[in-house]
Structure 1
Amino acid sequence: MKKPLKFLQTFIRPFKSPLGEDSQQQKEEDLETIAAQEQKQISFETLVAATQDFHSKQRLGQGGFGPVFKGKLEDGKEIAVKKLSRSSNQGKKEFTTEAKLLARVQHKNVVNLLGYCAHGAEKLLVYEYVANESLDKLLFKSSDGGKRGVLDWKKRYDVIIGVARGLLYLHEDSHICIVHRDIKASNILLDDKWNPKIADFGMARLFPEDQTHVNTRVAGTNGYMAPEYVMHGLLSVKADVFSYGVLVLELISGRKNSSFTGEAEAQNLLEWAWKLYKKGRGIEIMDPTLSSTMSTTEQVSFCIQVGLLCTQADPKLRPTMRRVVVMLSKKPATLDEPTRPGYPGSRYRRPRRNVDNSNSSDSMSREANASSLASASTSITHTATTSMLTSPTPPSRGKQPMEG
């Protein structure tokens, strides 16, 4: 036990912040203790051989943390290796965050972390290789025409259910509640059986069990962030629910919310889906390529309503991920009627709260900066590439934090 502890103390030392910028994570068990119990060290020589000395032809992608390489171990197991760039300050924090979180989670729909490597200045995370591309590369049109035809309705519906189950695990069934903060198509990987896996935990937050939300800096991707988070910095599991709802509507329509164009009556996907739904024409958002892969559109209409329920402006009205999984697993007789979704230009107001004098100035300051936060959010886009990563291991938790 002493040897892996010593190794991981060396591993994490360069990433410790002298300012203690994330006290919540510092209260969690140290990375070296967790990794010594649940993960294994992989030698640098093994990874050099597996990736052909990190050859350019093995390169899978590039993110804020550094490059990702494909490799194959001696036993034939395919892996993806995240290699931290020495010049990446943003990457150091995200790299450590991902290592801490993924060392403690394991689920079919969360990417699987296999181990660590530290070799001098080199710091690497090793994941199982996910065979198919990230969802965004298949779902949205590209200059070469895209590959949407690969994703028939059954595959898309399986992604909708799989991501919901993965989020339910993170929110309620893992060792502690984890809010991902960046659920989007590029962070959903598809394995060789088309099972979705939630990836890229660089911005994830651990969530206290006795709180319904935390105040935090705004970080995420434009088009997926919940209004209460963008405007007021209020983060809860309902922020992930909102992002999930956007993803559901993107899967159905084949159109990207953050770059939505072509509809005179709407400026974004949520507004378009909402207006058509209110007119009883919600099915019109369906990707035309799906029409030949289904016998009825009833399931699509049902999922549109689920997506709109998840993207409601008021977080209290959004369902929990447990409720979403139940709805998708066993269709209820009727669903609640969704209210207007939250999107730029829609009206969401945080409920007034009684505050004492000592907190009033801070509250007023937050309200005064709400509009600047909203405009700034358009540039807060997480660029980390998630073309190929994996998930880790933990036991169930009893009490779960829920938003009121």
Structure 2
Amino acid sequence: MSINFIILFLAASLPISTGQNGSVSCPLNFNVIRPLVGSNRPKLDIPFACRYARLGLQLVESDYLRRTNLFVPPPNTAESCWTAYQNLADDFFSSFDLRQNCGYQTDWIGSSGCMNITNRNQFENLIPKTSLNDVVRACNQSLSGSACSSCTLVLSSIQAVYLNGSSYGNLTDCRSFPFIYAAAFANQLGPTDRDTAVCLFSLDLDFTKSKNKHRTIIIAIASVIGAISLLAIAVGFWFYRSKKFAKIRRRRRNRRNESNTVSALDSITGSTTLVKFTIQDIKEATRNFARENIIGRGGYGNVYKGVLPDDSEVALKRFKNCSAAGDASFTHEVEVIASVRHVNLVALRGYCIATTPFEGYQRIIVTDLVKNGSLHDHLFGGYSSRGHLSWPIRRKIALGTARGLAYLHHGAQPAIIHRDIKASNILLDESFEAKVADFGLAKFAPEGATHLSTRVAGTMGYVAPEYALYGQLTERSDVYSFGVVLLELLSGKKALLEVENGKPVLLADWAWSMVRKGTPLEVIDSSMSECGPPEIMEKFVLAAVLSSHPQLYARPTMDQVLIMFDTDVPVPSIPERPIPLIAGLEDIEKSISSSGSGHLATPRGYQAYSTFEMDAQMMTNEEENEEEVENEVVEDEKARLSGSR
């Protein structure tokens, strides 16, 4: 089915005369979509046609809201709107009934789809002024690239907190109301701006632009190749031959690496429900890796939002390091995520490995899309959403994170140590259910082993001292990181509080000082909109302080943490902390330097640490560690196999 069918279907000027059965003409202006239409007419199947019809209607209703302060037109106009749709459809296709094929009901145009909200005043009376200001601050700009992610994150948070009532009988339900409102009033460019339409309504139907851009890239690449060829001929036949032989050797080596990766992944796919996506599938899902679809960045590469043919939304982690070490890391992460399945772990859909003439080697992991951002976004983001995290929501996040880690440590076989638990790796869905993510540093723990001796990796502020000092890794190293994250969740403060005499002060040390003074509730975030029973909040503070204790023996297991959270079992007495943990940072640095691991921050890193840059990765240059990463993956595989036996 043609995209132009849907767009013309939406963009048609509706009849002015009275419709059938006494209905009046529809006041919606579908012409506002016309500028978004390109000249191409690619084929579009019925599910996509229905999806674009629904999204296009949301854009049109946003324009209607902007003009009239009403979310939906009068109910008696519904039939005339659908009649105009159907008449246009009949001009292009015979026997295509939009309502029958898509399951749409006539009264779904003209009736409120969210909590009986019909106009702007009702919406604004429901949402606090501070939250509306957050929307304006995040969305009143050109919504391309990262600006789109910031805007949609605020809108999703508002929907989850304030518009969680019943949705019924409309194509525009509670999930779409904040987006319709933001396009109408928060964004000065309005819903008809192309970036706004793409970001808030996922409508980018001008395929001519992308095609011309692709053609320009091909021409540019062809020109460069031609120039290089002429230069090679000018330099001489000998140089040409040497480059040719070097290229052949490189191709053989890369094919050998790719063959090993494919073999390892195929063995995983054969025993799971993973989907092996083609590179064409990935490009269609991400609109050829469009910049506006980037929702995250890291040392490994970018994360893109994508839409699969079944209309489900996914996140695609695209690795930029495609050397032998990159293949080993990629295979390792796929293997770890594929081996687990839990409601509090990000679910893996599949993967893609491909080689293309222009992009080279492609390594992509496809997971479910978690739309509500990370815990770090809500606690420390650029908008005031922290106060919206009430006690019930924070307790839910803490329990979900603990359950996910308990499954990794005690439910998975063999056990898995995450190694990088931090607020930015705790993702939240629309109902604030926690999802532990990013298994790039995870390791399998062989059964019966007291600990693993391995290089130090992770994020500063969250790494357990015995792991940082001696490279001794256990499940309780994750417990320490969980304790720090739990303190951040309870207090609204970062893992680093301030700087005293040029030295950073850790949140765990400060929280312990509050407990030792007998005032554990001083740890609780003062901006929390709704608090819980004091004895329960105090119990969570004590559990967090115990979990982040610098001495390994004092920490509970994740199973024990869950028992404390879910039952009346009290938190054990907390042993004295001999010295503030931060006093040992110099020793940690000396230990790492002498061992040659070099994965903790240097003194320059401590300077960044003291200026609140908490996401500095404690890893050396990727190229210098390729051989070490490969060896670790081999060791992990041996450990996993021995544990299985």
Structure 2 length normalisation: TM-score? 0.49
For residue 232 of structure 1, what is the amino acid of its counterpart? Y
Change over 3 Å in CA distance of 1:314–1:68 after alignment to 2? same
The secondary structure found in structure 2 opposite 1:260 is strand
Q: 1:89 to 1:157 in 2, by over 3 A?
A: farther
Partner of 2:617 in structure 1? 381
The answer to whether the 8 Å contact 1:137/1:146 transfers is no
Quickly say closer, same or farther: Cα 1:247–1:295, change in 2 above 3 A: closer
**Which ranges of structure 1 fall in alignment gaps of 5 or more residues?**
1-9, 18-28, 350-364, 384-396
Q: CA deviation at 1:116?
A: 1.2
Shift of 1:373: 7.7
State the Cα deviation string for residues 243-263 of structure 1 (Å, max 9, x = none).
001111110100111x31278
Alignment of 1:236-275 (within 5 A): 236-257=474-495, 259-261=496-498, 267-275=505-513
Q: How many residues of Structure 1 are paired with residues of Structure 2 in the alignment?
A: 347
Give the match for residue 548 of structure 2. 311
Matches within 5 A, 1:136-285: 136-140=376-380, 142=381, 144-257=382-495, 259-261=496-498, 267-285=505-523
| Structure 1 residues 375 and 82: alpha-carbon distance in aligned structure 2, compared to 1, 3 A threshold | closer
- Could you give the per-residue CA deviations for residues 32-66 of structure 1, whole angstroms, max 9, x where no partner exists? 31222211212222221111111111111111221
Does residue 35 in structure 1 map to residue 275 in structure 2? no
Check 1:166–1:371 CA distance in 2 against 1; reply closer, same or farther (3 A cut). Answer: closer
Residue aligned with 2:287, SS: coil
CA shift in 2, pair 1:294/1:222, >3 Å: same
- Give the partner amino acid of 2:293: Q
User: How far apart, CA to CA, are the structure 2 residues paired with 1:266 and 1:64?
Assistant: 25
Pair 1:233–1:35, CA change in 2 (3 A): same
More helix by share: 2
Residues 197-206 or 40-49, more deviating:
40-49
Given the alignment of the two structures, is residue 112 of structure 1 paired with residue 347 of structure 2, yes or no?
Answer: yes
Judging changes above 3 Å, is the alpha-carbon distance between structure 1 residues 241 and 44 closer, same or farther for their aligned structure 2 residues?
same
> Cα offset for 1:297?
2.1
> Offset of 1:274 from its aligned partner?
0.7
Matches within 5 A, 1:288-367: 288-290=526-528, 292-332=529-569, 334-341=570-577, 343-345=581-583
- Paired letter, 2:314: I
- Of 62-71 and 226-235, deviating more is 62-71
User: What displacement does 1:96 show?
Assistant: 2.6
Q: Deviations over 1:42-99 (max 9, x none)?
A: 2222221111111111111111221111011121110111112156787554433211
Could you tell me whether the CA contact under 8 Å between 2:374 and 2:423 is conserved in 1?
yes
Matched, 1:70 2:305: yes
Q: Which amino acid aligns with 1:307?
A: A
Separation in 2 of the partners of 1:345 and 1:15? 49
Alignment partner, residue 25 of structure 1: none
Q: Over residues 195-241 of structure 1, what are the superposed CA-to-partner deviations in whole Å (9 max), with x where a residue is unaligned? A: 10000111111111120101111111111011100111110001000
How far does the alpha carbon of each residue in 1:113-171 deviate from its partner, in whole angstroms, 9 at most, with x for none? 1011122122211111111001101112x4x4442123211111111111111011101
Residues 1:13 and 2:13 are matched in the alignment: no
The 1:248/1:263 distance shift into structure 2, 3 A limit, reads farther
Letter in 2 for 1:195: E
CA distance in 2, matches of 1:136, 1:208: 32
Distance 2:598 2:318 in 1: 35
2:301 and 2:601 mapped to 1: Cα distance?
28
Distance 1:157 1:90, change over 3 A: farther
Q: Which has the larger radius of gyration?
A: 2
Contact 2:452 2:472 in 1 (8 A): yes
Between the aligned partners of 1:77 and 1:33, the Cα distance in structure 2 is 26
Q: In structure 2, give the amino acid aligned to 1:135.
A: L
Q: SS state of the match for residue 126, structure 1? A: strand
Query: SS state of the match for residue 326, structure 1?
Result: helix
2: CA distance, partners of 1:278 / 1:216 = 34
Structure 2, unmatched stretches of 5+, are 1-253, 356-360, 607-615, 620-639
Q: C-alpha distance in 1, partners of 2:601/2:352? A: 40
Q: Deviations over 1:344-389 (max 9, x none)?
A: 2269x9xxxxxxxxxxxxxxx9896599887649576269xxxxxx
Task: Find the residue that maps to 1:81 and give its secondary structure.
Answer: strand
Query: Could you tell me how far apart the structure 1 residues matched to 2:571 and 2:335 are?
Result: 38
CA distance in 1, matches of 2:500, 2:525: 14
Q: Tell me: CA distance 1:382–1:116, structure 2 relative to 1, closer, same or farther (3 Å).
A: farther
Aligned with residue 130 of structure 1, among 362, 370, 377: 370
2:200 maps to none
Instruction: Report Cα offsets for 1:250-304 as digits up to 9, x if no partner.
Output: 10100111x31278998221111111111111111211111x4025322211101
Q: Percent same amino acid at aligned positions?
A: 35
Which letter does structure 1 place at the counterpart of 2:386?
R
TM norm structure 1: 0.77
C-alpha separation in 1, matches of 2:291 and 2:257:
29
